[in-house]
Amino acid sequence: MTSDTRTRLVLVATVLGSSMAFLDAFVVNVALPTIDEELGLGLTGEQWIFLSYSLALAALYLPAGALGDRYGYVTTFVAGVTGFAAASIVAGAAPTGSVLIGARAVQGVFGALLTPSSLALLRATYRDEAGRAIGSWTAWTGIATALGPVVGGALVEAVSWRAIFLLNVPLAAVTVAAALASRDTCRTERRHRHLDVPGIVLGAVGIGALTYALVQGPKDGFGSGVVLGAFALAAVALAGFGLVEWRSAEPMMPLSLFRIRQLSVANLATFFIYAALGSALFFLVLFAQSVLGYSPPEAGLVVIPISLSLLLLAARFGRAADRIGPRPFLVGGPLLIGAGLALLGRLDADSTYWADVFPPLLIFSVGLAATVPAVTSAALKPAPDGLSGIASGINTTISRLGQLLAVAALGIVVSLVFGAGGNPFEIGHRSAGDLGEAADAFQWAMWVAAALAATGALVSGVGLPAGRSETPRAAGTS
């Protein structure tokens, strides 16, 4: 097998593995009514099917990245895929809601290994061309995520809700085969490093508690005792995590990483950019259904231009960022994102898709295709060899928290604009006045999201050096 073939197999494996984790974060939503009918979950059970997976996933990105640095990215990736498939079999055969919720949590544990290991594998394999590889990874995982609910809905209707979990098994087999066949391309074992168990535990508890608070806050109220307790636990655990990492001889997350200027700036930009992306897409789909009157499948099709733009442009932009450096793309891309969002902020109840929604969404999509490969590559390339996993875990965690925090914060903004409380995006027969207030709330959300994207561009423009960045050749652990 040629070196080029092995390199391509790395990309295939990482796309398939990451797509499994991304898909299972969302595809289960279309099956929840059917699952509830068979297993009798109730609303709380339905919420925990989603929440158990999401909490485990977000809480363990950092430890998962460190495990990749410790045991090797291929080894960790294959373990993640295999464990994910095994948990999927249990989920697909679950006789009760409790078993299904437990299996979803285990899916999240192993799913957390997939994205950091995927990105670290791409960085270690493609090195100075990592931007191109990450662009292709972004494009294909984006397509898979967009098509997931459609495929999931078809499986639920034609076969059973259990099929959406069992489908992971053949995908996992292909993924493992591709990863093992490409193994010699990426030798990354760092077995002499010790595991920072206190750091792993404190980091997981801190991020998990913070994620829970951000997810439950909009539902239960940020002043509720449970949410405040989760915030307090997150603060204590994360403070302890920082202290442990500062004092440890071999920390899970060496704080010296943040002295690398490009890495720190790229992660700060990631926070603002993904805050804009996550919140904008969340409210756009709600607006399409509640104000424009689209059906759920039609609302899903609204964002198809984003997937197509990523497929056609992300790898090309990533290749260009490898050649001339990430700064132009991390200034221009977020500005295009912000411009598209600002134009979406002009929508109202009388807007039509092709005249009013599609043009700004196309601008947004091109900006997204320019931004994502460049910002991910910029956050990984400067990391020393042997620390790509934790660098990927940091970037993935920051992107996730940025989205959650922005959705929670913009939910408050939307409620304030709506005025009377309640949900401005409630679906059903509503008066013209209600639709007007919902449109006003959506417009404010888009303008705030546009400001977040512009802030990401400002951070990149001020903080990133001009020119291309080289991938370090020497490992570092301090």
Would you state the CATH architecture of domain 1-193? Up-down Bundle (1.20)
Q: Can you give the pLDDT at residue 476?
A: 40
Q: Helices in 325-470 by DSSP H: which ranges?
A: 327-344, 358-380, 388-418, 432-463
Q: What is the pLDDT of residues 45-103, one digit of tens each?
A: 887 888 899 899 989 999 999 999 888 899 999 999 999 999 999 999 999 999 999 99
Q: Can you give the pLDDT at residue 472?
A: 62
Beta bridge partners of 475: 385
- The SS3 assignment for 110 reads helix
On the question of a common fold for 1-193 and 259-469, the answer reads yes
Q: What is the pLDDT of residues 177-213, one digit of tens each?
A: 999 988 755 555 555 567 889 999 999 999 999 999 9
Asked if 375 contacts 270 with a C-beta cutoff of 8 angstroms, the reply is yes
Please check the confidence at residue 272 and state whether its pLDDT lies above 60. yes
Please check the confidence at residue 311 and state whether its pLDDT lies above 70. yes
Mean pLDDT of the chain: 87
Q: Can you give the pLDDT at residue 151?
A: 77
What superfamily would CATH give domain 259-469? MFS general substrate transporter like domains (1.20.1250.20)
Closest CA to 454 of 321, 342, 299, 316: 342
Domain boundaries along the sequence of the chain: 1-193, 196-251, 259-469
pTM of the entire predicted model: 0.88
The DSSP code for 465 is P
Q: Can you give the pLDDT at residue 418?
A: 66
Q: What is the pLDDT of residues 161-182, one digit of tens each?
A: 999 999 999 999 999 999 998 8
Q: Can you give the pLDDT at residue 23?
A: 83
Closest CA to 360 of 284, 411, 436: 284
Q: Can you give the pLDDT at residue 92?
A: 95
What residue type is assigned to position 323 of the chain?
R
